[in-house]
Structure 1
Amino acid sequence: MKLQKLIAVAVTTCFVLGSQAAETKVDAVAAVVNNGVVLESEVNEMVQRVKTNASRQNQTLPSDRALRTQAMERLILNSLQMQMAKRMGLQITDPQLDETIENIAREQKMTLEQFRSQVVQEEGSYEVFRERLREEITTGEVLRANVQRRIYVSPQEIDTVTKLMEQQGASNEEYNIGHILVALPSQPDAAQMKDAEVKANKIIELLRSGSDFKKIAIASSSAETALEGGDMGWLNINEMPTLFADQIRGKKKTDMIGPLRSGAGFHILTIFDIRGANVVEFEEVNARHVLIKPSIIVSEEKAKNTLANFVKEYKAGKGDFAAFAREHSEDPGSKLKGGELGWADPGKYVPAFRDTLANMKKGEISEPFRSDFGWHIIELHDRRTVDATAEKKREQVTRLIYNRRYNEESSNFLRELRDQAFIEILAETE
């Protein structure tokens, strides 16, 4: 503990300028997190970002003190995950970051220059945006790596859920859920249980009397979605935690649900919106690709340029895709087939691959792009819509169960990570 306190003093001292007669504090430590720190400037910047986003959406916000508390919690979790990423040797390289930004720009139908201008206009600094995005990708990878290994979906579970969905006439209906968590410690005593229950009941009373859900979530929720106003995004009922799914089923838009008790605390839910009833068709894509993996011998630049030069030749009518794939591709599953992947659900591919396919037209070849596996090019042969066959339904059910478990285990992992850490929140500076 002495070490952490010395860190706090040392870092704060580094940000103090001037003589003993007139010191000017440029920055200060807001919290000590294991052997790292959260700075006041980081807290203030996150609070300001939430305010700016809320202003754009005409969203009312709670007090600055409540915003500060939520920002502090988010930054503490980010710090813990970044520390774990360092221990894991996980690093997002500049080429990976550039590829992600290119994908974001493409999704928004912008050139890189247009996207960069928008970022500067909205956020002030493109470099700050890049580093924040790098951190978001890193923390996402830490979460995925640690949560995936906790999840196993058995064939028996798939059979059970498939039969249940058939009996209930379940559809692909999706719910946009709002969530507020009044958290409990790992082993709460009777007084802590009572206090949390009273707080949860007061919150539900406020909501049922017309208070804004997102404002209350930002002010009072302990869930990781607090700064987003409790918005969990769009979920099929079978992707939600079981506790939520049992209560959401049959409810209507704007209904209030809870408080619901779990090991994490008391949950309050609402339904922001519902969409996609009775969707029973899926899109499949037929494509081929080439993968080149950077290595000690093949640099990132060489891998990308090899693919870029081939794309140029191919567009000029000089290249043979199948021959190029057989010679250069490092994907063992498709190399000998000339890069052919066959018909597949694009959701099975990694995000960078899936997102590139989503923006391609029939017969188009992509420019080189980076995924976790290396550098790719894709040629899209065709798209088709297929019926939800028994096999496809089984794949869908597997994905739904996995997503539900992932949501549950993500919350458990983050709570355990925080519980095991040394955290000291320092007094707010004036």
Structure 2
Amino acid sequence: MKFIIRAICISALCSFMSLAQSVSLDKVAVIVDQGVVLESEIESLVNEVKRNAEAQGQALPSDRVLRTQAIERLITKSLQMQMAERMGVQVSDPQLEQTITNIAQQQGATIDDLRNELEQQGIAYDDYREDVREELIVGEVTRANVRRRVYVTPQEISNLVKLMDQQGAEQAEYNLGHILIGLPSSPTDEDVASARSRADKVIELLNNGSDFTKIAITSSSGSNALEGGDMGWMNVNSMPTLFAEAVQGKEKGELIGPIRSGAGFHILKIKDTRGIEKITIEEVNARHILIKPSIILSDEKAKEMLEKFRQQVIDGDADFAELAKEHSEDPGSALKGGELGWSDPNNYVPAFREALAGLEPGEYSEPVRSQFGWHLMQLIDRRIDDATDKRKEDKAYQLLFNRKFKEESEAWLREMRDTAYIEVVE
């Protein structure tokens, strides 16, 4: 029996020695503050770059240059991950799986498709998961540290909006219809009054639905009268200055005029536009009473309380505003009789927004439950608001923020790299 055990031990020892000879042990390549970069990490990154370059048919520099670049990338990543650990930044498994699912969906694939693709490239799925997890963590650490370094001034936004408007004006084109009620070369006051009267009559006819083309052929003294007054597509820079100033800010279908010039009275119709961004949003004005369930007031009792208020208001036995002032637990609106003011409905929580969507102006909702409690609401009115300027400002802010964020990210990484202890192990 002892011989058998000894034989097994010798066999195991020989196997271990053989394995040790065939597999080279990993080693530390760079010390980075409290962390390290391993030789295997460098080789893995270099190989990944080579695979991607080969797939895209790109030429690469020497292996020495690739190794240097890979080391720098891994040093930066190590510093970011160490900072993430100090900040307590983590990505849970459910978050990670959702992100990977989104990545697959964006490529029109499933998780199984992604696994198969990784397997064909010789990449283990678990390694891929951890790479994605690290990317998410690095992104969150960067945002947390760089965001507070970025400041966009109102003046910068205003200047960029003006520049965008100028560029937009240069790209904007109008398809114009034109009617000219002409004047003689040396008009008398009577000529001017008569022409003005005829121009006003034309405007009246057009506003009452008369056909622009027919009236242009019949009444216009312009050179394009036989074409129904059609001036075709024109950029603001290519049309007469008088017209360019008149069409600014106008929309498709609008009539403009009469506009006086030396030639007479001009009437324009904007038949169509292109290259012009016009954004409208529906806003709602509503009021509500909020009752929050508590240990004293059950969920059912809170609902019944609002049902009672609703009936009292409908029957004329109570005033909505007074009930809101007395009972509503929304401090922001209670003192104003529950009124929330004009707002984009998307600013409200889903339950509140959906209830408003089903109401006509003046109607009261049934009690609605949200995460804040029970609501009784009334839709006061709806309106369509021009959000073009607000959207331009938002776009300008985002462009400025993204540019500054990139600049500050690079500065932050340099500062972190400069203050870190780095030792390349020979």
TM-score, normalization: structure 1? Answer: 0.46
Larger radius of gyration: 2
Higher helix share: 2
TM-score, normalization: structure 2? Answer: 0.46
